[in-house]
């Protein structure tokens, strides 16, 4: 606590003896700059402070016990993180949220908090590979078992849930990379009838989709569409207040929190989230329609295409279909490799949801932990290419795709 407080600006005490402070002391207690009453910043400042103080011990102890509002230590809570949490919960239409350092950290927080020894999890072959591996490699060490089904096989879901007590059903929609659409109504209904909680990784669909379903917890990689600019990582768990409260207590001990500066960048990204998501969806539709007419291409998967096997389901569930377009080249792996390398505007890298268009090499999409049968279900082949469409002018993207197709796999 600061002694001899003469005035308080921005909640920070200014010492009465500043004139006599030695410089090494002063640099650690710099002058406070106050905003006069009625004067506000248009953009909220980043609370890039790990520690927050009160003026007396009693209030400090009460805040520490959660009996008084306030902040003490950023691993527990921080105003910039809290602002992001409140905004995300509202966007997804749920009570509360927790923000953490990455999308994977969000998923692992859910698993570590909700799973006990002996629990069974129902996942899917089409689930994001690190989520699958987290369960099969890490959670299995603690006695958690996993069944992998196809997201298309609702009858098998019903059968497994009827046969085995299951704690969590974990899935995505659209799936990564082949954009299969999960039937969320039937999956949540089946899971809840059999006493399982539903966890939906909603990263691809975005924060404005799927809120109408009784999903217990949504996880998001904020690294992608939410922040949008390829310059920050983050993750979120969004859901019912009671579940979030209990996960938060564990998360404080696990410590995979987000940094306030990262939260600020994500908040800044969210200002243009709807504009970006809409622009990406529109451009992705154009790209998918263009690719579907190209003779070198076997099939194009984009939920907005009428030819997509679950187009009608996607239309019922989603407002728009996002920026991920996946397709198979007839000429297979060599042509897919040449195509990725011939693109000039698309970054050859991992991830989706950036302002820049991206392409993922087919070799990086193949899941080596799957059996031959599971690989068949996953829908990823040797010539599968995943595009993430950015916010460039769609005409430029189409021209780049056309020239890369010609160079990689000439017509006829
Ligand atoms: C569907 C999905 N969930 C989670 C993640 C993990 O996100 P992060 O890279 O922020 O940990 C990814 C990353 O590609 C993803 O595609």
102, 128, 151, best to mutate for ligand 1 pocket (most atoms within 8 Å of CB):
128
Q: What is the pLDDT of residue 4?
A: 35
402 vs 363: which has the higher pLDDT: 402
CA-to-CA distance for 387 and 300, rounded, in angstroms? 11
CA-to-CA distance for 367 and 386, rounded, in angstroms? 14
Q: Ligand 1 mean position to 354 CA, how many Å?
A: 13
Q: What is the pLDDT of residue 16?
A: 54
CA-to-CA distance for 354 and 374, rounded, in angstroms? 30
Q: Which range, of 200-214, 302-316, 360-374, averages the lowest pLDDT?
A: 360-374
Q: Ligand 1 mean position to 103 CA, how many Å?
A: 5
- Please list every protein residue whose CB sits less than 6 Å from any atom of ligand 1: 102-104, 128, 172, 176, 201, 203-204, 221, 223, 233, 235, 351
Q: Prior bond to 177 cis, omega within 30?
A: yes
Q: Ligand 1 mean position to 104 CA, how many Å?
A: 6
Q: Ligand 1 mean position to 408 CA, how many Å?
A: 29
Residues 6+ positions from 142 with CB-CB distance below 8 Å:
115, 117
Q: Average of pLDDT values for 139-151?
A: 98
Model confidence at 17, in pLDDT bands (50, 70, 90)?
low
Q: Prior bond to 174 cis, omega within 30?
A: yes
Nearest ligand 1 atom to alpha carbon 106: 11
pLDDT beyond 70 at 13 = no
CA-to-CA distance for 270 and 264, rounded, in angstroms? 10
Residue nearest to atom 14 of ligand 1 (CA): 351
Question: 324-370: per-residue pLDDT in tens?
Answer: 999 999 998 899 999 999 999 999 999 999 999 999 977 777 777 88
Nearest ligand 1 atom to alpha carbon 223: 10
Residue nearest to atom 9 of ligand 1 (CA): 103
Q: Average of pLDDT values for 98-126?
A: 98
The two tokens of residue 166 are 């299951």
Q: Which range, of 192-206, 228-242, 257-271, 358-372, averages the lowest pLDDT?
A: 358-372
Question: 81-108: per-residue pLDDT in tens?
Answer: 999 999 999 999 999 999 999 999 999 9
Q: Average of pLDDT values for 380-388?
A: 92
Q: Ligand 1 mean position to 7 CA, how many Å?
A: 47
Q: Which residue is listed with tokens 């106050």?
A: 34
């Amino acid at each position: 606590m600061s002694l001899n407080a003469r005035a308080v600006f921005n909640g920070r005490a200014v010492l009465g003896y500043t004139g006599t402070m030695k410089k090494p002391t002063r640099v650690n207690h710099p002058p406070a700059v106050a905003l006069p009453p009625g004067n506000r910043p248009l953009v909220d400042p980043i609370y890039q402070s790990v520690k927050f103080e009160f003026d007396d011990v009693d209030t400090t102890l009460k805040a520490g016990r959660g009996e008084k509002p306030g902040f003490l230590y950023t691993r527990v809570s921080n105003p910039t993180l809290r602002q992001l949490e409140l905004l995300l919960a509202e966007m997804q239409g749920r009570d509360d949220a927790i923000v953490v350092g990455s999308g994977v950290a969000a998923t692992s927080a859910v698993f570590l908090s909700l799973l006990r020894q002996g629990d069974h999890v129902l996942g899917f072959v089409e689930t994001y590979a690190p989520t699958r591996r987290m369960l099969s490699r890490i959670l299995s060490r603690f006695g958690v078992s996993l069944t992998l089904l196809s997201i298309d096989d609702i009858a098998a879901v019903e059968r497994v849930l009827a046969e085995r007590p299951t704690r969590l059903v974990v899935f995505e929609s659209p799936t990564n990379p082949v954009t299969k659409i999960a039937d969320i109504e039937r999956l949540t209904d089946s899971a809840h009838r059999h006493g399982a909680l539903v966890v939906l990784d909603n990263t691809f669909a975005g924060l404005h989709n799927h809120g109408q379903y009784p999903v217990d917890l949504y996880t998001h990689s904020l690294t992608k569409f939410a922040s949008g600019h390829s310059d920050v990582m983050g993750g979120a768990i969004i859901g019912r207040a009671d579940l979030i409260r209990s996960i938060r207590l564990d998360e404080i001990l696990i410590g995979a929190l987000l940094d306030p500066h990262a939260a600020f960048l994500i908040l800044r990204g969210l200002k243009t989230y709807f504009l970006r998501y809409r622009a990406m969806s529109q451009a992705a539709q154009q790209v998918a329609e263009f690719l579907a007419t190209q003779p070198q291409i076997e099939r194009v998967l984009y939920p907005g295409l009428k030819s997509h096997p679950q187009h009608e389901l996607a239309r019922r569930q989603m407002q728009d279909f996002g920026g991920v377009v996946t397709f198979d080249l007839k000429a297979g792996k060599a042509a897919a490799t040449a195509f990725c390398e011939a693109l000039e505007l698309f970054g050859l890298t991992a991830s989706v949801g950036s302002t820049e268009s991206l392409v993922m090499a087919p070799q990086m999409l193949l899941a080596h932990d799957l059996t031959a049968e599971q690989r068949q279900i996953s829908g990823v082949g040797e010539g599968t290419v995943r595009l993430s469409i950015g916010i460039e002018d769609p005409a430029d993207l189409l021209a780049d795709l056309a020239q890369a197709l010609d160079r990689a796999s000439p017509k006829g």
